[in-house]
Amino acid sequence: MWCLVKARILTNLPRVGQPVDVKQTAAGVAGRIRFELNRTLTGQGHEKFTSASQAIGPRPAAELARRLFNSGAVLGVHVFANIVTVDLVPGSRDSDLAQIASDLYQYWKPGMKPPTVEELMAQVAAPAAAAAPSADGSAPEPSAAEKLIPAHLLERSRNARKKAEAK
């Protein structure tokens, strides 16, 4: 089972994320451009950002605003559903901004190297090593997450992990 899951994860990595289709148009005001995306970012709500510090949280509109502000060419961002209006810094160029919007959901790009199985297992093994039994042989104090799991399921998980590590 683990080999099947591992193979599935590794073969799916290059296809993670999809580019957003972006159509750039003039907004009718000098220094302002508009992007029409093939996805809605805010539902039916409006979100306006005048600085990167206002773009807080994991919402798609906030993430796009942060990325646009990081380009250094943006004064303000307004997002309504799938329409993104960008106010540019005077004298700046808008050449890369459409690409920033297009890459919003692109989590995997050509040339990126997937982590090895050993690197992934090291991330999992580090918390497990911290939960090792104490010197007197008693079980360690369960974490807050472990307290939410029924004891019999937690024990089953620990036994399965020991069995997998023994192989």
Asked if residue 36 has pLDDT above 90, the reply is yes
**CATH number of 68's domain:** 3.30.1370.70
User: Rounded to the nearest 10 degrees, how much is the dihedral formed by the CA atoms of 6, 7, 12, 14?
Assistant: 100
Query: pLDDT, tens digit, for every residue of 85-113?
Result: 999 988 887 778 888 888 888 777 678 78
Q: Which of 102, 128, 150 is the last residue of a domain?
A: 102
Write the DSSP symbol of residue 14.
Answer: G
- DSSP strand E in 27-151: where? 32-37, 46-49, 74-80, 83-88
Range of the domain at 153: 115-166
Global pTM reads: 0.57
**pLDDT band at 131, cuts 50/70/90?**
low
Helix (H, G, I), strand (E, B) or coil at 44: coil
pLDDT above 90: residue 17: no
Q: Is residue 41 part of a domain?
A: yes
What's the pLDDT at 6?
40
pLDDT in tens, 40-60: 888 888 999 999 899 888 888
